[in-house]
């Protein structure tokens, strides 16, 4: 299976640069996998597609203000993107770094409010190992001086409004470098409507990593390797999912991140296993879903692993047909764009 099989042409003006006026003020495209039919409407109509007994799984990760702007001793500008803390080393982080000259071991960097850092030896590919000075509350400081790492296709600086709108209303566990964007459409009011209809809602956590931004660089899809992402499945969520499966009820993932977590944590006997782990799962056509029956998702980049995931669930040709219709009907694409429901 070749990378070019997942390509399509998207007009630049359809890439959403700002969120909709309100979270639920977006459009919805519904895909029926059995009948191969496509319908469109307002996002709020998504409630009508759920039935009592459905189980909706949310990813409650919270995006860290992980983009730090600083200066070297020489005065040169430096940008760091915090990825993950190094195990057992509270001040050491894996980061992506950008500056006019390569960031070599020993380079010192100063940030706002007295925060400083040193580049350490090590790191793989574009990553750098960075040791920050010890501060009283590192996370609180980062939230004050850092910037939200908006995706590169949003061609503007982050703004104060993004601090709210690039987080889901159910975001709890800090640690992601990208939002689970399908969840950005949901309000507490809409979630309550689903509950009143008899839809069960549970959460898990997958801290979305840098892999969501990186292009696939191999021509043969089978050769691609995913970046590892940390996840946590609560006992209550595992119990709810396993009971729903036993009773023949639908398990709907809110976003590809929730879908990847569910499929990663499902064992060979088909049971969702609670606990923490690392997900490196790569889902593309030919994959047989073990837990996920439905998916709420946004529209994804050409040649991306996320486009491959939705193609695995709904069929590549059907997905590409839906994308062409979305383009023709001027849907908004990517993180701040419109929504798709696959059932």
Mapping DSSP onto H, E and C, the string for the chain reads CEHHHHCCCCCHHHECCCCCCCCCCCEEEEEECCCCEEEEEEHHHHHHHCCCCCEEEEECEEECCCEEEEEECCCCEEEEEEEEECCCCCCEEEEEEEECCCCCCCCEEECHHHCEEEEECCCCCCEEEEEECCCCCHHHHHHHHCECCCCCCCCCCCCCCHHHHCCCCCCCEEEECCCCHHHHHCCHHHHHHHHHHCCEEEEEEECCCHHHCCCCCCCEHHHCCCCCEEEEECHHHHHHHHHHHHCCCCEEEECHHHHHHHHHHECCCCCECCEEEEECCCCCCCCCCCCCCEEEEECCCCCCHHHHHHHHHHCHHHHHHHHHHHHHCCCCECCCCCEEEEC
pLDDT mean over 321-339: 98
User: pLDDT tens digit string along 231-256?
Assistant: 999 999 999 999 999 999 999 999 99
Which among 273, 311, 307 has a CA at the least distance from the CA of 290?
A: 273
Q: What percentage of the chain exceeds 90 in pLDDT?
A: 92
| Whole-angstrom distance, CA of residue 142 vs CA of residue 63 | 12
Quote the distance between the C-alpha of residue 23 and its chain's center: 17
**Mean pLDDT computed over every residue of the chain:** 96
283: pLDDT confidence band, cut at 50, 70 and 90?
Answer: very high
Q: Which domains does the chain have, with CATH numbers?
A: 3-63+163-342 (3.40.1780.10), 67-145 (2.40.10.240)
The pair of three-digit structure tokens given for residue 144, joined into one six-digit string: 């004050």
User: For the chain, how many residues are written?
Assistant: 343
What does the pLDDT average to over 32-47? Answer: 98
Is this model's pTM higher than 0.75 or not?
A: yes
Region 274-292: mean pLDDT is 97
pLDDT for 68? 98
Cα(153)–Cα(194) distance, integer angstroms: 32
CA distance 50 to 252: 9
CB-CB contact of 59 with 127 (8 Å): no
Distance CA 138, CA 295 (A): 36
> How do residues 193-218 score in pLDDT, each as one tens digit?
999 999 999 999 999 998 877 889 99
Q: What is the mean pLDDT of residues 289-307?
A: 97
**116-173 pLDDT per residue, tens:** 999 999 887 789 999 999 999 999 999 999 999 999 999 999 999 999 999 999 999 9
Q: Would you state the pLDDT for residue 211?
A: 80
**Which token pair is 33?**
């996998």
Tokens of 312: 């695995």
Cα-to-chain-centroid distance, residue 203: 15
Helix 305-314 × helix 256-265 angle, to 10°: 70
Residue 28 near residue 338 (C-beta atoms within 8 A): yes
Q: At 89, is the pLDDT very low, low, confident or very high (cuts 50, 70, 90)?
A: confident
């Amino acid at each position: 299976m070749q990378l070019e099989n997942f390509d399509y042409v998207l007009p630049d003006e359809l890439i959403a640069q700002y969120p909709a006026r309100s979270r639920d003020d977006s459009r919805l495209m519904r895909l029926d996998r059995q009948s191969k039919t496509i319908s469109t409407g307002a996002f709020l109509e998504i409630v009508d597609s759920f039935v009592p007994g459905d189980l909706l799984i949310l990813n409650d990760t919270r995006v860290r203000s992980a983009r730090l702007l600083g200066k070297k001793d020489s005065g040169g500008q430096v940008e760091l993107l915090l990825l993950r803390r190094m195990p057992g080393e509270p001040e050491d982080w894996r980061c992506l770094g950008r500056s006019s000259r390569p960031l070599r071991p020993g380079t010192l960097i100063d940030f706002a409010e007295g925060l400083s850092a040193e580049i350490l030896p090590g790191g793989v590919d574009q990553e750098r190992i960075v040791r920050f000075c010890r501060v009283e509350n590192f996370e609180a400081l980062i939230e004050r001086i850092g910037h939200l790492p908006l995706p590169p296709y949003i061609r503007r600086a982050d703004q104060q409004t993004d601090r709210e709108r690039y987080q889901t209303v159910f975001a709890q566990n800090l640690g992601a470098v990208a939002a689970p964007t399908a969840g950005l459409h949901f309000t507490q009011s809409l979630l309550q409507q689903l509950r009143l209809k008899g839809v069960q809602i549970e959460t898990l956590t997958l801290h979305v990593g840098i892999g969501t931004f990186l292009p696939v660089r191999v021509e043969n899809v089978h050769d691609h390797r995913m970046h590892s992402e940390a996840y946590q499945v609560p006992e209550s969520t595992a119990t709810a999912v396993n009971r729903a499966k036993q009773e023949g009820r639908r398990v709907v993932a809110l976003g590809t991140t929730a879908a990847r977590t569910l499929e990663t944590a499902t064992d060979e006997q088909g049971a969702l296993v609670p606990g923490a782990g690392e997900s490196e799962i790569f889902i593309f056509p030919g994959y047989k879903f073990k837990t996920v029956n439905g998916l709420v998702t946004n529209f994804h980049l050409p040649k991306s692993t996320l486009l491959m995931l939705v193609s695995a669930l709904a069929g590549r040709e059907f997905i590409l047909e839906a994308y062409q219709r979305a383009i023709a009907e001027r849907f908004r694409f990517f993180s701040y764009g419109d929504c798709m429901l696959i059932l």
